[in-house]
Structure 1
Amino acid sequence: MDRRVTKTGKDSEGDITSLCGAWGSTSKATAIREIEASSTAYYVQDIYSRRADVHVVAGATGKYLRTDPNSSCSDNLDSLPAC
């Protein structure tokens, strides 16, 4: 199942805590489990209909979510409005 992300929840430090779209919302932990299990693909689509998939990244403080690194800021999770 593919889910387009149009908004994100963030904590006081700006870290992504949830993903939101027309389908509803899900927590970061659930999204990570679903992406790793290949049961759900989350993505961001910019105004030019370019798709950037959301991936799980292992960071120094644990797993987090991010889109494919590219030259467009409009498809970054951090640039989406709050849900």
Structure 2
Amino acid sequence: MVDLERRIELTAKRQARLDDPTFRYEALLCEAVLRNRVGEPGVMGAQLERPHSVDRGLRRRCHRVGFPRARRRRQSI
């Protein structure tokens, strides 16, 4: 088990990295993750909006990876 002080230290380092103006990242979110409801709609929407409100997408990009389209089978009559 990771001790509490180490977890706090790692959290502070991650936050400092996100505040670094030269740091950029790109995230890919599966559409299934976006459709899986784990909380109230308002909370989930706020969590998705938060990264965009911080820097208006200048350093962080988030993309949705959609479900593959089902191919229609030809039905013989």
TM-based fold match above 0.5: no
Give the number of the structure whose residues are more often helix, by fraction: 2
TM-score, normalised via structure 1 length: 0.22
TM-score (norm 2): 0.23
